[in-house]
Amino acid sequence: MKDMLWELMNPLVMGILLGGLYATIALGLSLTFGVAREINLAHGDLVVLGSYFVFWMTSRFGWDPLLCLSFGVPLAFFLGYALQRYLLNYSMRLSEDTVLVVTFGIAVILQNLMQIKWGPLSRNLTQDYLLRTLDLGALYIPLNYLLDFVAAVLVMVALHAFLKKTFTGKAIRASAQDVTAARLMGIDVQGMYSITFGISCALCMIAGTFLGMTFPFTPFTGPTLLIIAFGIVVLGGMGSIAGTLIGGMAFGVVQTLSGYFLGLTAQMLVAFAMVLVVLSLMPRGLFGR
Amino acid sequence: MLEVADLEVTYGGLRALQGVSLQVFPGEILAIVGSNGAGKSTLLCAISGIVRPNKGKVVFKGKEITHMPVHMRVDLGIVHVPEGRRVFPEMTVLENLMVAAYNPRARSRWRSSLEFVLELFPVLARKKDQLAKTLSGGEQQMLAIGRGFMQQPELMLIDELSLGLAPLVVRELYTVLKVIKAQGVSMVLVEQNVRKSLLESDRAYVLKGGQVTLCGASRELVEHPSIKKAYFGIG
């Protein structure tokens, strides 16, 4: 019995660490939905675009993936900002459905552009040092999983501080709570949406980097990531940062544990079944308001 | 200071305002009175930019603003305290006040404005770290007014200040408005309570069915036979 518990520790810890990566992937989706009620169907593909961007930079300049982020994050922010400002804000004014159609179109375009540029084969951002494992007696922790989790926590703390402490962050939260009142406070709500989408894309860049450091990716990994992110956001409640982290960890743990007990083929099935069960029992998610 | 000329607003075929013209002079309190659905709130919304008129002009300090976005009007000093207070429920009192100082003009002196507001409303100072949704109706109205002041207003549009509030709270709110007025802020009051708004204002316009039917000094309008008949049930 004791041995069995020890043996469970490994998938459990791996699931929690993996949950950090999932939460980073889901964070941007949760943010845009929480602030603008905007569902971005290209979210997963933007994450993969981040992976490919870093792949391109590492293979061209021989840089470490983490170093590429210093260019990638501002670039992704401006791309996202422009996308919202010059395209999605207009779509939102037409209807919610328009946003779905437009972002779906962006998803298809991105997938095909990535396939043209980088081909259909799977790539990864693995570095030698990432393959090391921390040996803690009964526990083996791969370094890349640990980095995923640390990055997730850092990103979330930073986002939380931005939303709480800065004038812009407060204005974004105000826009999320009451659009009309926010406008009356002198806040350019559409401008806030643009900044929010920029942040979401910057988060995609970060998520894409850590994804590539952990798993291989292809131009068509995006939709799978989108579905995982939706599951997590539903679990954690839209727009809640802590909820997203816990939702990600719940998803990761259920996945690794069911993989341990039922085999790898069943792990995603069980994780999504959990999302369905939670959603039917608590329609607002575990932490939704 | 503010001039509205021949304003017309329609909501999906329904005409809410029709040919409304009015003026607000610097430093005065103007009351807009009228029954439910007379177009009072719509008028305020057209001045602050929340609704777009399909005809007419709004001019503020000699500048036409009829089609200017809301946030740019706030930059000019037009501040609208909306009906139902509309405080941000999931933000603290302090955050509500700070986010109101978002426009650049107000942001540069948010500390001194905050000090002033917390002095005006000691109860907000005591509850400054509470979420706005935990405040009572009266406290939320104080927060809404405080937020309005944080925006560095030159013209304050206040919709239904006293709706659903105890008389004591209403009296306190009007006292504060006098203090804010003394800082050189002009105001437009929209009130369900006709007598109160006539007593608290310098001039008044009467709206009926989206049109101005009467205007003049508030002191005289209180005595006007048709006002007495329509709103005080006497005469």
Instruction: Give the domain range for residue B182.
Output: 2-232
What pLDDT is stored for residue A175 in this prediction?
A: 96
Asked if residue A288 has pLDDT above 70, the reply is no
What pLDDT is stored for residue B192 in this prediction?
A: 82
- Confidence label for A285 from pLDDT (cuts 50, 70 and 90): confident
Question: How close does chain A come to B125, measured CA to CA in Å?
Answer: 19
What pLDDT is stored for residue A199 in this prediction?
A: 98
**Cβ atoms of residues A238 and A116 within 8 Å:** no
- Looking at every residue in chain A, the average pLDDT score rounds to 92
What pLDDT is stored for residue B234 in this prediction?
A: 59
What pLDDT is stored for residue A20 in this prediction?
A: 96
Contact residues, chain B, for A166 at CB < 8 Å: none
d(CA A160, CA A157): 5
Continuous segment of H or E residues that includes residue A134: strand A133-136
Instruction: Give the domain range for residue A186.
Output: 23-225
Listed range (A186-195, A235-244, B22-31, B53-62) with the worst mean pLDDT? A235-244
Q: What is the CATH number of the domain that holds B95?
A: 3.40.50.300
Query: Looking at the predicted complex, does its ipTM rise above 0.95?
Result: no
- Confidence label for A289 from pLDDT (cuts 50, 70 and 90): low
Higher-pLDDT residue of A137, A213:
A213
Q: Which of A184, A188, A240 to mutate to test the interface with B (most CBs of B within 10 A)?
A: A184
What pLDDT is stored for residue A235 in this prediction?
A: 86
Question: How close does chain B come to A20, measured CA to CA in Å?
Answer: 26
Please tell me which residue of chain A has the smallest CA distance to B47.
Answer: A184
Question: How close does chain A come to B107, measured CA to CA in Å?
Answer: 9
- Please enumerate residues of A whose Cβ is less than 8 A from a Cβ of B: 167, 170-171, 173-174, 177-178, 180-189, 289
Tokens of A142: 């791969």
- Confidence label for A209 from pLDDT (cuts 50, 70 and 90): very high
Name, in order, each residue with C-beta under 8 angstroms of A278's C-beta and a sequence gap of 6 or more. A234, A235, A285, A286
Per-residue three-class SS string for chain B: CEEEEEEEEEECCEEEEEEEEEEECCCCEEEEECCCCCCHHHHHHHHHCCCCCCEEEEEECCEECCCCCHHHHHHHCEEEECCCCCCCCCCEHHHHHHHHCCCHHHHCCHHHHHHHHHHHCHHHHHCCCCEHHHCCHHHHHHHHHHHHHHCCCCEEEEECCCCCCCHHHHHHHHHHHHHHHHCCCEEEEECCCHHHHHHHCCEEEEEECCEEEEEEEHHHHCCCHHHHHHHHCCC
- Confidence label for A234 from pLDDT (cuts 50, 70 and 90): confident
Does residue A238 form part of some domain?
A: no
- Confidence label for A161 from pLDDT (cuts 50, 70 and 90): very high
Please tell me which residue of chain B has the smallest CA distance to A171.
Answer: B99
* Per-residue model confidence as pLDDT tens for chain B (235 residues): 999 999 999 988 888 999 999 999 999 999 999 888 888 999 999 999 999 999 999 999 999 999 999 999 999 999 999 999 999 999 999 999 999 999 999 999 999 999 999 999 999 999 999 999 999 999 999 999 999 999 999 999 999 998 889 999 999 999 999 999 999 999 999 988 888 889 999 999 999 889 999 899 998 888 888 887 777 765 4
Asked if residue A158 has pLDDT above 90, the reply is yes
Q: How many domains does chain B have?
A: 1
Q: How many domains does chain A have?
A: 1
Does residue A233 form part of some domain?
A: no
Q: What is the pLDDT of residues A78-134, one digit of tens each?
A: 999 999 999 999 999 999 899 999 999 999 999 999 999 999 999 999 888 888 888
Contact residues, chain A, for B48 at CB < 8 Å: 184
What pLDDT is stored for residue B93 in this prediction?
A: 97
